[in-house]
Amino acid sequence: MIMDNGVNHKNVRVRYAPSPTGFLHIGNAQSALFNYLFARHFNGTMVLRIEDTDTKRNVPHGEESQKDNLKWLGIDWDEGPDKPNPKYAPYRQSERTAIYSKYVEKLLKEGIAYKDYTTEDELKEMRDVQRANGEAPHYDGRWYGRSIEDQKKAAASGLKPSVRLHLPSHHTYAWDDIAKGHVSFDSDNMGGDFIIQKSNGIPTYNFAVVVDDHLMDITHVLRGDDHIANTPKQIAIYEALGWTHPNFCHISLIYNPKTRKKLSKRDKDTLQFISEYKRQGYLSDAIFNFIAFLAGLRLVKMKFFRKMN
């Protein structure tokens, strides 16, 4: 259900941010529906943002398919690539790389982030040793605080660095989740300093999401609870950049009954895909109602249930 408790009703802005690596399935649609109804409930704004930086996994017409099937379900957005607000555009991450680089450079300049020239073989060896010692695999910080001379030598050898965010020791990252209540993580149990920019210059998911959500004035991040482990890293980035993080709400996932795993856009179980329900003649209202039921949205204000009747 949509919860009023603890929600600041003023200027609510939410986003649905699919990646065009596959087609719209029930799990994606649940997230989109939750954001759509939340925005409508609080007279807010729903933003459609396309997270398309993983070019190797993007599928042809993935973005168009997502949009078409959302519209078929009756889920529309207020801002997006096709409805740009000049204050927040562009809405495709592939068109925002210069923005991300600007903030990576800021953190590098301030010494909060650093270049890491560790090779894949070195990372594998590091993790193997840690596992052999009964430790959870983590980055050991070997390039944190290294001299300019060391960096120049590594660069001269042809190595291209990733950029990592330095985490303070014994620091708690916590938030009051709208659905889960109080959640906290210790920085010492987060896998060490993590990458915010890959060696090819592309930002990682967590970094790009934080920059976009902040610059787009997103007030509430509503998503599946498989993202809970991402949230402390995102809060760490917010803190590093001196920004206030939005409200978080992590909702239960819909699982594939055959595999008992969360639905994936690349699963072969085609009946999970919205396009298949559409092709087989299901009414969009029925699927809208079904997804709302699975998502526990039965107690939304009755005015939203025009789709249900």
Catalytic residues, which ones? 265
Backbone angles phi, psi at 5, to 5 degrees: -60, 130
In the structure encoding, which two tokens stand for residue 40, read together?
A: 């409508």
Residue 185, SS3? strand
Helices (H) and strands (E) in the chain, counts: 9, 9
Phi and psi angles of residue 248, each rounded to the nearest 5 degrees, phi first: -115, 145
- Where helices occur in the chain by DSSP H, the ranges are 26-41, 62-73, 97-109, 120-132, 148-156, 205-215, 230-241, 274-279, 284-294
Alpha-carbon distance 216 to 243, whole Å?
A: 13
Closest CA to 67 of 86, 85, 48, 90: 48
Alpha-carbon separation of residue 231 from 168, 179, 190, 195 (angstroms): 16, 14, 11, 15
DSSP string covering 152-177: HHHHHTT---EEEEPPPTT-EEEEEE
Contact (Cβ atoms closer than 8 angstroms) between residue 139 and residue 191: yes
The residues, ordered by sequence, that sit 6+ positions from 170 with a Cβ below 8 Å of its Cβ are 186, 187, 188
Residue 87 CB partners (closer than 8 Å, separation 6+): none
